[in-house]
Amino acid sequence: MNTGSGRAICRDIFFRMSLKYNFSFFRICILHSKKMILLLLFTSISLASGLLFTNIYTSVVDAKSWGANIPQSIKTAREYFKIVNPGNFFRIISPLNQVVALLVLILFWKISATVRIYLGMALALYVLTEVFTFAYFHPRNQILLETSPLPDIDTLKKAWSERSDMDWVRRFFLFAGLVFSFLALHKVYTAT
């Protein structure tokens, strides 16, 4: 028997089934599987870790380079980031992290009140990180990397200094969210 046609037959049968059956299949196979739910929690932790370490890299390497010889270093950074910049990564991964954290909170809601609180705190901290980023960092990044023509040296130095001085707060929010996620993971494993 040709395996290609077998796959086509299975696909056709699956797509011809009712939505009600497909949803039940999804619910039973995916959502009620403890391993799949734990995988989502690990995914949330991995995404948040990736955000934290990328933020640390941006602060330790990129931001230090931006402030090394203002305004020339800002001109160089603008030229380097003409096609893509770290914001491209954060605009994809950060919302994805929040969606997965919300999904994990929903899926673990009935496990225990402690797990629910830990995951809720993690989600709140991830959202707070995003709000802080939009409110505080985006205006400064715009001055540093986007405003045309290039602002005066004092404005650039002030924006760079303010950005550098407050980046630890954003890292703290991400780190605290990760701690709560790990506490929830620990609670899940010790409860079973």
List phi, psi (to 5°) of 82. -60, -40
Q: Apex CA 148: angle with CA 145 and CA 151, to 5°?
A: 75
- CA-to-CA separations, 87 to 8, 37, 130, 145, 176, in angstroms, rounded: 41, 30, 12, 11, 22
User: How buried is 69 (Cβ within 10 angstroms: 0-12 exposed, 13-18 middle, 19+ buried)?
Assistant: exposed
Confidence of residue 188 (pLDDT cuts 50, 70, 90): very high
What is the pTM (predicted TM-score) of this model?
A: 0.80
pLDDT digits 0-9 by tens, 6-51 = 555 555 555 555 545 555 555 555 555 778 888 999 999 999 999 9
pLDDT digits 0-9 by tens, 125-180 = 999 999 999 999 999 999 988 878 889 999 999 999 999 999 999 999 999 999 99
User: How buried is 123 (Cβ within 10 angstroms: 0-12 exposed, 13-18 middle, 19+ buried)?
Assistant: buried
pLDDT at 181 over 90: yes
Q: Determine the straight-line distance between the first and last CA of the chain, rounded to whole angstroms.
A: 45
